[in-house]
A and B are shown apart, each in its own frame.
Chain A
Amino acid sequence: MLLAWLVAAPLQASSPIAGPLHSIGSETLASLMLRWGETLEARHPGVRLQLQASGSSTAPPALVAGTSRLGPMSRPMSESERAAFIAAHGYPPLAVPVAMDALAFFVHRDNPVEALSLAQLDAIFSDTRRCGGAAPLERWDELRPTLSGGISRYGRNSASGSHGVVRRLALCGGDFRLDVGELMGSAAVVAAVANDPRGIGYAGLGYLTPGVRALGLVGDDGGAVRPTAEAALAGDYPLSRPLYLYLNLAPGEPWPPLERAFVELVLSAEGQAIVEELGFVALPPGRLTEIRRRLGLEPGH
């Protein structure tokens, strides 16, 4: 009786787990955080998760200013963000990889284009074209003669990790075109593309809906890699990224019970099942054990 055992689990803890758990950060991770939070609350009824999610870049300021202790981020912290954290607290933040996400480019379900190369994406989305796009791509017929119409571009606001990852990996750090829509959420990007036959936009693979199709990426060898869980885990898909949970935890400080329960849940089989349910890529068990060991949480439950 796994469930009965799970419920009984808190009995073994010396003191029950309760209190508020603030989280400010990534919007991509928001649905995951919500579901983990729901599960944690079901397990420990005294816990209160309070979640704000408007983009990964909101996590470091919140951690630095101390407005939250958990910072979910869909990209690693940049050097300057780390430096700001260290300057404020005297020790580096603790990064916990919690899942993988493949960042996919979506087109409308009518669109027959199967895959694009990074250079083509650069030519579509960037006006500095540092990744080798020769000329800007303005129309779908420049990609496929049978198509027609100009390309409408949708993207995320600059606070989001998705924005940063696309900028770094697909645009080689260049500038987005000014006419790339900056929408406030991944769901909004997908909804906009699903309603616009000429649209293209990027969001985490977990946001795939039947209204859109995810594009494959053409590598240097000419073969296309589809954004799938396997490709992301194997590292074949270039736009895959680990999702992180950053914690404000001084080295040597014992884990606060609440944060510990949360991280343990996230790294458990149940937490990773939620990852899969929401369309993200779960971490393989070996990796989980390793992370738990590194964090000083006993391997296994």
Chain B
Amino acid sequence: MIDYSSPAVRLRQRWRQVRDRLATLLISACGIGVIVAVLAIGVFLVVAAWPLFSSPRVASEPATPGVEVAYPLEAPLPAGLEAWRRDQHLDALPYALSHAQPQALGGRLWLAEGHRLTILALDGEAPRRLARLPVVEPERRITALAALAGGRSLVVADDAGGLRRWTVEAAPPWLRLATEYRDRGPVIQALWTLPESRLFLARDAAGLSLFESLAGQRWRGEAPGGEALGFDAEGGLLWRDAGVVQRLAIDAPHAEISWRTLWLPQPYEGHAAPQQRWQSAGEGSLDEPKYGLAPLAWGTLKAAAYALLLAVPLALGAAFFSACYLPRRLRERIKPTLELMEALPGVVIGFVAGLVLAPFVERHLAGGLALIVLLPLVMLLAGGLWTRLPAAWRRCLPLGWAGLWLMPWLALWIALALWASPWLEAALFDGDLRGWLEASLGLGYDQRNALIVGLAMGFAVIPSIFALAEDALSGVPASLGEGAQALGATRWQTLWKVLLPAAGPGVFSAVMIGAGRAVGETMIVLMATGNTALMSVSPLEGMRSFAANLAIELPEAVPGGTHYRVLLFSALLLFLFTFAVNTLAELVRRRLKRRYRQLGAGR
């Protein structure tokens, strides 16, 4: 008999309770910690991408004594030119000067005269007039003119308050209207471009505005009184007001990013029409960085769509077959095999797709395309032949095992099609299918195209769709299927009329999960495409996906810079998209599970 009130036992009990409480505490702390850490990914991405969308900060502060103007507001004309301008009585007119990109454009001087711009080439001894072009309506007058960094954009302000950006070309038509920031408003008296950036300040009677060449007005505030001196070395604007020098600190590190510049076609320099483009600047910061996310989003979805185009029919077909026809023993072997397929690393699939499959498909394009039509026909042919076989043969090749013994049959036909490919191409397309596609359908052919990605990534997502769809189908309470079959339905009818309606949401969620995986797959897209940021539907052209783009560009991006943050923002999009897709799929699956439980309980 144990004495439960003895001090030793009581101590022991107390100790056990303390331990229990400690353990609970530890588990809770660790558990919550882990879950928070895992969920922190989303938070981190939001925090890192947030500054992109914060508005610029412009603040006036007393200047440090002795600070000097590093960049004057107006580039002074070379001495000879100044004299020339005075001779021509043009000294009161606004002008802009470009020595940038001399090999392409030559130095240029743009002079505003009334509503027109005179373009002068500075390559000879005396300035040579190239053209005189109207840039504002005839009744208006140009009030201010500035060339943006890089020398390929001119900003023109007029006396009705209009403000427009023109891009500069090396040959006629010389100028092309890119952006109309506004048509009317307060009249701008002066335009100052910020050194080494694509920002400029516009000063009117009412105040000061900060513009970005693509994104438009980013800030507006009161102009300090007095006289502007120029920019200091850090890009702050120095003012003198009543003898005191003030500094206007302009902090707009990501001014070029707005929802519009990320997602809509933009009038980039050197291109005739607004374009959707992703071309990060690379070397040299004066180049206009082109952060159009639309081509990347398009590429991501296109790759996923082509992958699903292959994977959904194959995976669902396999799942249907496995759920309805496969004998149990075989199913227990085949399911793990396809699960092994899921574990194949993307880098291996991508390598095979990029370096082996892509050239192979190109050489056997005709045969490959023929296979798309041929394979279903051959499967049906096998069925047709099978029904005509003598019963003894049929017993050797039961339908339940067709998934296996069809393999050599299909392999035979695939080999046949590939072998006949050159012959097919010669007979039908004059021996040059690629040329034929280009000539008659206008389809360009990239060797590393959506077809290849579809094949490779489709291969990679088949197992996940298969496994989930199969689970959903075989999870349907057996009573339902058995009932249908007892009433005389064939197995296919049972599947179509009973199992699928019951398991439909589960099958749908399987496809969603597959889509999520296809959207995020990195290495396959990276290695099997040319990473061209195109927006085309053609299966024979390439694409660039968010994930591949991250792998390519993140190592080169300077932490904290615009490029880095835009990339992190794209990672956030990827995160949100896959998270949403998966959540939807998960919710559907949960509801289905409950339904099965009810159905099963009703037995």
Contacts and interface: CB of A to CB of B under 8 A. Distances in A.
Contacts of B104: 130-131, 172-174
A78 B284 contact: yes
Contact of B531 (A80, A182, A199): A182
B435 A152 contact: no
Given A84-B558, A130-B270, A148-B432, A78 B552 contact: no
Interface stretch (A98-106, A190-198, A246-254): A190-198
A242 interface: no
B170 A196 contact: no
Centre residue among B277, B358, B544, B555 by max chain A CB count within 10 A: B555
Contacts of A75: 283
Contacts of B444: 150, 179
Given A80-B284, A130-B170, A195-B447, A181 B542 contact: yes
A57 B532 contact: no
B277 A159 contact: no
B567 to A, nearest CB: 12
B90 to A, nearest CB: 29
A157 B446 CA distance: 17
B555 A182 contact: no
A149 to B, nearest CB: 6
Given A84-B558, A159-B553, A164 B434 contact: no
B588 interface: no
Contacts of A34: none
Contacts of B268: 175
Size bin of chain A's contact surface: 35 or more
B287 interface: yes
A172 B103 contact: yes
A58 interface: yes
Contact of B555 (A58, A80, A127): A58
B531 A181 contact: yes
Interface string A78-108: 1110001000000000000000000000000
B559 A159 contact: no
Contacts of A192: 447-448, 530
B530 A159 contact: no
A178 B532 contact: yes
A184 B552 contact: yes
Nearest to A80: B285
Nearest to B541: A179
Interface string A158-181: 110001100110001111101111
Contact of A180 (B284, B362, B532, B555): B532
Interface string A28-58: 0000000000000000000000001011011
B101 A172 contact: yes
A136 to B, nearest CB: 12
Interface residues of B, number: 50
A128 interface: yes
A106 B130 CA distance: 39
B438 interface: yes
A21 interface: no
Nearest to A24: B555
Interface in B263-289: 268, 270-271, 277, 279-280, 282-285, 287
Contact of A148 (B170, B285, B435): B435
A182 B446 CA distance: 12
A195 B279 contact: no
A163 B558 contact: no
Contact of A55 (B531, B533, B555): B555
B597 to A, nearest CB: 49
Contacts of B529: 181
A66 B532 CA distance: 32
B60 to A, nearest CB: 24
B447 A57 contact: no
Q: Which of A57, A65, A163 has the most CB of B within 10 A?
A: A57
A61 B557 contact: yes
A154 interface: yes
B462 interface: no
Nearest to B269: A128
B555 A54 contact: yes
Nearest to B278: A178
A297 interface: no
A183 interface: yes
Most A Cβ at <10 Å: residue of B355, B358, B446, B556: B556
A53 to B, nearest CB: 10
B271 A127 contact: yes
Contacts of A78: 283-285
Interface string A254-273: 00000000000000000000
A245 interface: no
A60 B284 CA distance: 12
A64 interface: yes
Contacts of A179: 444, 446, 530, 532, 534, 541-542
Contact of B358 (A60, A61, A195): A195
Nearest to A139: B438
Nearest to A128: B270
A28 to B, nearest CB: 14
A150 B438 contact: yes
Interface string A182-216: 11100010011001101100000000000000000
Interface in B434-454: 434-435, 438, 444-448
B526 interface: yes
Contact of B544 (A150, A173, A176, A182): A182
Given A148-B435, A196-B359, A181 B446 contact: yes
Contacts of A167: 282-283
Contacts of A152: 445-447
A154 B282 contact: no
Contacts of B359: 195-196
Contacts of A180: 530, 532
B432, B435, B541 — which one has the most chain A CB atoms within 10 A of its CB?
Answer: B435
A84 B558 CA distance: 10
B446 A164 contact: no
Nearest to A138: B444
B275 to A, nearest CB: 9
A182 B283 contact: no
Interface of B: 101, 103-104, 170, 196, 268, 270-271, 277, 279-280, 282-285, 287, 290, 295, 354-355, 358-359, 362, 432, 434-435, 438, 444-448, 526-527, 529-534, 541-542, 544, 552-553, 555-559
5 contacts: A52-B555, A178-B295, A188-B354, A196-B362, A198-B434
CB-CB nearest 6 A-B residue pairs: A181-B530, A128-B270, A159-B556, A195-B359, A164-B283, A57-B556
Given A58-B555, A164-B282, 17 more contacts: A57-B283, A61-B558, A84-B558, A148-B432, A154-B530, A158-B282, A159-B553, A163-B282, A172-B103, A175-B271, A175-B290, A181-B532, A182-B531, A182-B552, A184-B527, A195-B358, A195-B359
